[in-house]
Amino acid sequence: MEILWDKEKNKRLILGRSVSFEEISGKILSGEILDVLDNPGRKNQQYFVLYIRGYTWAVPFLIDRQKRIILKTAFPSRKFHKLYGGKNDSSR
């Protein structure tokens, strides 16, 4: 499975939210995914729901024609935290 992201967006995530696409892709590749949901606001886009450092995060992504995962951004989600609360995460 190939996971891609924009390098500049990664820098902004590190500076603004103290999380990186490298950390996120590691969780995805190791199977630490709480859920995968369709993004109702964007056609052909989905969310990975992940538990990162004590909180539930949404990570919008799409799959391109070559079947590669392209990460768009990441943000802590109160909505998903209420729904999932970080359950099923082995690193808690």
How many residues appear in the chain? 92
> For position 89, what pLDDT does the model report?
45
> For position 87, what pLDDT does the model report?
54
Query: Which secondary-structure segment (H or E) carries 38?
Result: strand 35-38
What residue spans define the domains of the chain?
A: 3-84
What confidence tens digit (pLDDT) does each residue in 24-46 have? 999 999 999 999 999 999 989 99
In 3-state terms, what secondary structure has residue 1? Answer: coil
For the 3-84 domain, the top CATH level (class) is alpha beta
What confidence tens digit (pLDDT) does each residue in 34-91 have? 999 999 999 899 999 999 999 999 999 999 999 999 999 999 999 999 999 755 444 4
**High-pLDDT (> 70) share of the chain, %:** 92
> For position 1, what pLDDT does the model report?
83
CB 66 within 8 A of CB 75: no
> For position 72, what pLDDT does the model report?
98
